[in-house]
Structure 1
Amino acid sequence: MKSIKSIILAGGSGTRLWPLSREMYPKQFLKFGERSLFQNTVLRCLEISKIEEIFVVTNEAQKFFVMGQIKEIGHEIPPENILIEPEGRNTLPAILFGMKEIERKFGKSTVGVFSSDHVLDKAAMQTISSAEELVSASLVTFGVVPTFPNTGYGYVKPAEPLGPGYRVSGFREKPDEETAKKYIEEGCLWNSGMFLFDTDLFFEEVRTHAPGVLACFEQFENIAGIYENVEKISVDYGIMEKSDRVAVVRLDHQWSDLGNFSAIYDEFEKDRDENVVHGCDPFLLNSTGNLVHSKSGKIVSLIDVNDLVVVDTPDALLVCPKESSQKVKEIVTELKNRDDERAYIGQKVYRPWGSYSLLENSPGHKIKNIAVLPEHKLSLQMHYHRSEHWVVVKGMACVEVNGDKFFLRPGESTFIRAGEKHRLSNPGKLPLEIIEVQLGELVDEGDIVRFDDVYGRE
């Protein structure tokens, strides 16, 4: 079964599930159970591909989430298989980027394309694999059998049978509810955004229907030059809706793109009052059909309310009707217009060396709890506008200041003045935890000058 190469698209912006997800921590890396959506996607791809045949298209900010979460499930992806887009240009350039790399490394191939943030039964991979017989003559997409008239998905209309699938007679945009009912009566399927392509046929159809996009990949030698010039265009609009060589294969399996909180409510287990509760001790009196998510340690109480979304994080609270949850992205847009960092990061921020949690913040000071993974280190850096006081809570810290190295044990501390080159590392086998107090005129992430970084960050 493992003859298919896989591309995982993992460059989400984190806007639709704010405040759970942020631009620096999009929904594919969220864990609603033991594993994240991205990790489950990788495990599904391993049903049809070897780990060295899986390629992940992402961005610089999320590269280390990709590497870390794959390691967490016991696998090591080749670094060259993590493809970094300089900026998001929609799905056609992202897929073309992956297809070019697969052809360069493996030659002519059959390639599955998957979003990193979908819920899908692993059993569906058998159906996806069986569609391989179609790819020499057709671009293959997968249509999910609808369970209700969803207005958040596009639709695919199948025509006459074609091997294990059907010829596609047309694509439909996201409809209103009445139109969605009509589409289902016509036998239309939800457009899943998953594909199976033969590299030769894919490049041929891109050259026919989106020649400018392919020309950018052939004209410019480096990815920065390509992305400066390539059109921002989806694979559906670029080739799938224009080609007359498209087939759809039915997926009668559990599937969701978890596009908003209403979709999360639909997907997860409910209590006897049809409430979905994550991470908190709730008191819900005469309240039904609600989604409640909180990890703040608070008691969450709802009285006489129905069909609400309540999401409580340390730095943001969201309350809205489930039916309005798709409007969350408007809040994120406004936060970005205000240059509010809460659109980009939460109280807990993940880095390739570990993570930090913001405990307290003001214009002149910031307090963090910093966790450094075993045998990892921060960059050698300097700050112009702030000093830092470090206190070790757990583990052994190796501290470098202006070229001098020393060790700190639990309860010991050091003070680093503004302008001093410094680095924190964890040489041990156990996690390192410190409390960092920043003091100065400027205490934001912009006041970092890096001199050396083992993770290749600028």
Structure 2
Amino acid sequence: MINIILCGGSGTRLWPLSRTMLPKQFVRLFNNHSLFQDTVLRNQPVCSHTFVVSNNEQYFLAVDQLNQITADSAQFLLEPVGRNTAPAIALACMALDADDLVLVTTSDHLVKDQAAYETAVIQAKALAEQNNLVTFGIKPTYPEVGFGYIEADGNDVLSFKEKPDALTAQSYIEQGNYYWNSGMFCFKAGVFLAELQKYAPEMYQACLDAMPKTGCKTEIRIDLEMMNAISEDSIDYAVMEKSNKVKVVPCDMGWSDLGSFDALFEEVKQPGQDNAVLPRLEDSPEPICIDSKNNLIVARERQIALVDVEDLLVVDTSDAILISKKGSSQKVKEVVAQIKKQTPELTEIHRLAHRPWGTYEVLQDSQQYKVKRIVVKPGSKLSLQKHFHRNEHWIVVSGTATVTVDQNVFFVRPNESTYIQMGQLHRLENQGKIDLVMIEVQVGEYTGEDDIVRVDDDYGR
């Protein structure tokens, strides 16, 4: 069986912890693992192969995190833009054999009971082998209004329900045969595609047209124009709610979609503790809490102190702080919408940003200058590029930099520096065996990340 992991999404409901360039599935939340890494590890005992559907920008994060857990190599399908779950799953299935069994999972959900999970997957696999489209229904623990529900009679699906109001959700809980829609599925690739062709023929054909006819099977890249031609829809609306081949596996596996800080609080809190504190980064200070209880504290770097407060969500990152009442964290999406208008970079990227060649961290960002700490991995290089609005000063801290400026190529060693004039074509490369660490000082009228003209790039950007 093949595990198709849907790895898109920006995780705006967990801002400022989650950003477009580091969405929640890649944030290290528990046991120094990301949810994406946990998803891969969780499915390795029940699946023989991993197939990741991601966007171009998050591809390198996924590859790096796979390498960190020494997972087997994965197959990738890279979307230039997201078109929701139905096209993503369809494109992945088109890259497989019709008889291949697939287990479709999200990359950003939490499952705490591995044994119950594996039992549910085995049940789903048996139903899928009989040419059914199988979904997983989570036994609800409270009347959640943010999830869709599945009405079931054993393994038979009676109906799919939209997100209910509070009274309706309570009635579902009382009836006992309603389950949260988990967004996980199991079926044969060919069976799903046949149902998609039956119920959404235009989408099916657009996906078929978008699939490259030649190229690398382990890294499939979809053309932007062809991707935009595919209609946007979820697998539930496109197929599951219409097909007569749908079955459900009711299960109780300690599942959470971690879709809000309120949900995160429920997973982080420990018996006997007054507050829920997300595991901190190494060497970050312990929060100080005086006569304060029932709070979620996400303290990544700075000292956090709470005095005489209750029922708060306090999320601190290097460039933004969120403070909310518990129960109101769904409104974070409204915060993100406003920040996109005022300071869009705060929704897109952290001060510490991951790139395919390494990382950079913004140490200082002021009018007309910016200071960065850049780390380039051994054997990696940045794009050949130029800027129209800034000059750059590079100072090497450790390692050796191979620098290209116009037609000149030279080495810069620790405690040495070089200067890149505005408009000059340049490239930074690490040909050594250890990380290259350097400080970059940008000076100019504009120092935004979009002031980059790439002439040549190993990563197809």
Q: Same fold (TM over 0.5)?
A: yes
Which residue in the other structure is 2:25 paired with? Answer: 28
Letter in 1 for 2:70: G
CA distance in 2, matches of 1:218, 1:301: 55
Q: Does 1:251 align with 2:251?
A: yes
CA distance in 1, matches of 2:311, 2:261: 11
What whole-Å deviation, never above 9, does each CA across 1:215-273 have from its counterpart, x for those lacking one? 21234565434422221111111111122221110222111110000111111243634
Which residue in the other structure is 1:408 paired with? Answer: 412
Which residue in the other structure is 2:168 paired with? Answer: 179
- Indicate if the aligned counterparts of 1:396 and 1:407 stay in contact, CA closer than 8 A: yes
Which residue in the other structure is 2:348 paired with? Answer: 344
Which residue in the other structure is 1:263 paired with? Answer: 263
Which residue in the other structure is 1:125 paired with? Answer: 118
Letter in 2 for 1:398: T
Deviation at 1:295, TM superposition (A): 1.8
Aligned residue for 1:61, secondary structure, equals coil
Which residue in the other structure is 2:293 paired with? Answer: 288
- Indicate if the aligned counterparts of 1:395 and 1:432 stay in contact, CA closer than 8 A: yes
CA distance in 1, matches of 2:56, 2:131: 36
Which residue in the other structure is 2:67 paired with? Answer: 71
What whole-Å deviation, never above 9, does each CA across 1:113-148 have from its counterpart, x for those lacking one? 000001113331342133212113321000111222
Deviation at 1:408, TM superposition (A): 2.5
Which residue in the other structure is 1:218 paired with? Answer: 208
Unaligned runs of 5+ residues in structure 2 are: 213-221
- Indicate if the aligned counterparts of 1:277 and 1:292 stay in contact, CA closer than 8 A: yes
TM-score, structure 1 as length reference: 0.92
Q: Does 1:422 align with 2:426?
A: yes
Which residue in the other structure is 1:148 paired with? Answer: 142
Aligned residue for 2:306, secondary structure, equals strand
What whole-Å deviation, never above 9, does each CA across 1:51-72 have from its counterpart, x for those lacking one? xx32111111111111111111
Identity %: 45
Alignment of 1:45-124 (within 5 A): 45-50=43-48, 53-75=49-71, 77-78=73-74, 81-103=75-97, 107-120=98-111, 121-123=113-115, 124=117
What whole-Å deviation, never above 9, does each CA across 1:306-352 have from its counterpart, x for those lacking one? 11110111111100012010111111112223462111112111100
- Indicate if the aligned counterparts of 1:273 and 1:287 stay in contact, CA closer than 8 A: no
Q: 1:406 to 1:76 in 2, by over 3 A?
A: farther
Which residue in the other structure is 2:216 paired with? Answer: none
Aligned residue for 2:288, secondary structure, equals strand
Q: Does 1:208 align with 2:198?
A: yes
- Indicate if the aligned counterparts of 2:138 and 2:251 stay in contact, CA closer than 8 A: yes
Which residue in the other structure is 1:169 paired with? Answer: 158
Root-mean-square deviation (CA), in Å? Answer: 1.7
Alignment of 1:317-356 (within 5 A): 317-338=321-342, 340-356=344-360
- Indicate if the aligned counterparts of 1:143 and 1:251 stay in contact, CA closer than 8 A: yes
* Alignment equivalent of 1:10, drawn from 7, 26, 31: 7
* Alignment equivalent of 1:363, drawn from 356, 360, 367: 367
CA distance in 1, matches of 2:331, 2:182: 22
Unaligned runs of 5+ residues in structure 1 are: none
TM-score, structure 2 as length reference: 0.91
Aligned residue for 1:23, secondary structure, equals coil
What whole-Å deviation, never above 9, does each CA across 1:369-415 have from its counterpart, x for those lacking one? 11111221111211122111111122222222223232223222111
Aligned residue for 1:407, secondary structure, equals strand
Q: 1:112 to 1:402 in 2, by over 3 A?
A: same
Which residue in the other structure is 1:306 paired with? Answer: 310
* Alignment equivalent of 2:40, drawn from 19, 39, 42: 42
Letter in 2 for 1:154: G
- Indicate if the aligned counterparts of 2:210 and 2:227 stay in contact, CA closer than 8 A: no
Aligned residue for 1:16, secondary structure, equals helix
CA distance in 2, matches of 1:126, 1:378: 46
Deviation at 1:112, TM superposition (A): 0.6
Q: 1:251 to 1:201 in 2, by over 3 A?
A: same
